[in-house]
Amino acid sequence: MKISGAVLEEIGRERPYAESRPLSISELELDPPGPGEVLVRIERAGLCHSDLSVIDGNRPRPVPMLLGHEASGIIEQIGDSGDAGDVGFALGDRVVMTFLPRCGNCDGCRSDGVLPCGPGSAANNAGTLLSGGRRLTRDGSAVQHHLGVSGFATHAVVDARSIVRVDADIPADVAALLGCAVLTGGGAVINLAKPQPGDTLIVVGLGGVGMAALLTALAVGATVIGVDANPDKLGQALELGASAAYSPADAAELGVKSATVIEAAGNVRAFETAVALTAPGGTTITVGLPSPTARAEVSPLGLVAEARTIVGSYLGSAVPARDIPIFADLWRAGRLPVEKLVSAEIRLDEVNAAMDALADGHALRQIIVF
């Protein structure tokens, strides 16, 4: 079938992206779903720094690639089950896309979310679906899948292990955000930080993922302090319910510390700030994805003498099929207002300019409406 989507043509084009246009709105051919796969009509797709990091070269991927990994939609076709068995979904189901499929059989999948799926990670790096196949072409040439989703398009074929069903009462924009921002930031809260009511938690880096961590911590009864170098983000954190919000310099000068600090910015300075704000005996949880060449300075003596711990958390150490329903229930109960993360709704053809807004720190989550 013919679809329209935003294809990354070249990595590393100069900004502003509104002028260099690294993403072209293209007509593509989408093959039918194979065994264990489904065709999804995309309803909403969120713009995330993991998309931006491919565009700017911080996380190189094969191109041309149809971008987008945070999305929701409706199942319109189910592939022949064949040897894959029942995919567990029905036509008309609303589903959340998740950017790391889980095969269910490898050591990573047996780690209960601590480690990513090995075959899923390999497929993501190769630009394929979990099966190793590609379902996208343009003018007869293959187009790569982005993290098994490629959600910046009118339709997508995905492996059934890359989606989680949600009830129809979960709005499409909320459902999209559950698959990345909330699963990563909120997952770090419920799976690693595990705050008790009344505990204080610091979040460093107040983008979409950091704000999702903030909202989730508030949802489970914690007190949250926000830290970011962008003054606008500090005001937004206070509006969302943070008890206080500081620049990194002010937090250091005031001696602000907590037993649990979540770093969600994906850069060296934020990571170093998070470690510095971690109290003796405390834990720094880092979910950000910096450049592979980034290096930070940390005092080993400080870790030893103060018995502090640093923990990495990929995708919030989440198991999507287990955790997305938890977040959906929190939203349904009025405790997790995910919709407050939406800065703007945009058209697909506005995606390049929207990437500029994301890079400049002017947006939490911009949502493409299909």
In a domain, 47, yes or no: yes
Can you tell me the distance from the alpha carbon of 76 to that of 47, in angstroms, rounded to the nearest whole number?
24
Q: What's the pLDDT at 82? A: 46
In a domain, 326, yes or no: no
Can you tell me the distance from the alpha carbon of 247 to that of 253, in angstroms, rounded to the nearest whole number?
10
In a domain, 301, yes or no: yes
Do 164 and 188 have their domain in common? no
- Contact of 214 with 226, CB cutoff 8 Å: yes
- Contact of 9 with 139, CB cutoff 8 Å: no
Do 6 and 99 have their domain in common? yes
- Contact of 68 with 150, CB cutoff 8 Å: yes
Q: What's the pLDDT at 86? A: 66
Can you tell me the distance from the alpha carbon of 264 to that of 280, in angstroms, rounded to the nearest whole number?
21
Do 236 and 351 have their domain in common? no
Tell me the CATH number at 221. 3.40.50.720
Do 197 and 269 have their domain in common? yes
* DSSP H helical ranges for the chain: 17-20, 49-55, 118-126, 172-178, 181, 187, 208-219, 231-240, 248-254, 268-276, 300-305, 320-332, 351-359
Low-confidence ranges of the chain (pLDDT < 70): 81-86
- Contact of 265 with 291, CB cutoff 8 Å: no
252-277 tens-digit pLDDT: 999 999 999 999 999 999 999 999 99
In a domain, 324, yes or no: no
Instruction: Extract the tokens encoding 56.
Output: 């700017």
In a domain, 328, yes or no: no
The sign of the torsion formed by the CA atoms of 271, 272, 276, 277 equals: negative
Do 140 and 36 have their domain in common? yes
Short-list 167, 185, 188, CA closest to 177 = 185
Q: What's the pLDDT at 83? A: 44
Do 101 and 150 have their domain in common? yes
Q: Domain boundary at 268, 283, 314, which? A: 314
The residue segments making up the domain with residue 169 are: 2-179+337-369
Instruction: Extract the tokens encoding 364.
Output: 């939490």
- What separation in angstroms does the CA of 86 have from each of 93, 117, 132, 185? 15, 21, 19, 31
Paired sense of beta strands 23-30 and 141-142, if any: unpaired
Amino acid symbol at 197: P
* Element spanning 290, H or E: none
162-220 tens-digit pLDDT: 999 999 999 999 999 999 999 999 999 999 999 999 999 999 999 999 999 999 999 99
Question: In a 10 Å sphere around its CB, with 0-12 CB exposed, 13-18 middle and 19+ buried, how is residue 15 labelled?
Answer: middle
Do 50 and 145 have their domain in common? yes
In a domain, 172, yes or no: yes
Amino acid symbol at 209: V
Dihedral, CA atoms, 330, 97, 343, 328, nearest 10 degrees? -10
Q: What's the pLDDT at 327? A: 98
In a domain, 332, yes or no: no
- What separation in angstroms does the CA of 143 have from each of 8, 101, 134, 219, 231? 10, 19, 8, 40, 40
What is the number of alpha carbons within 13 Å of residue 34 lying toward its C-beta?
Answer: 13
Number of domains in the chain: 2
Tell me the CATH number at 41. 3.90.180.10
In a domain, 329, yes or no: no
Do 100 and 209 have their domain in common? no
Do 20 and 131 have their domain in common? yes
Do 11 and 159 have their domain in common? yes
Do 348 and 285 have their domain in common? no
27-36 tens-digit pLDDT: 999 999 999 9
Do 295 and 356 have their domain in common? no
Q: What's the pLDDT at 323? A: 98
Q: What's the pLDDT at 88? A: 87
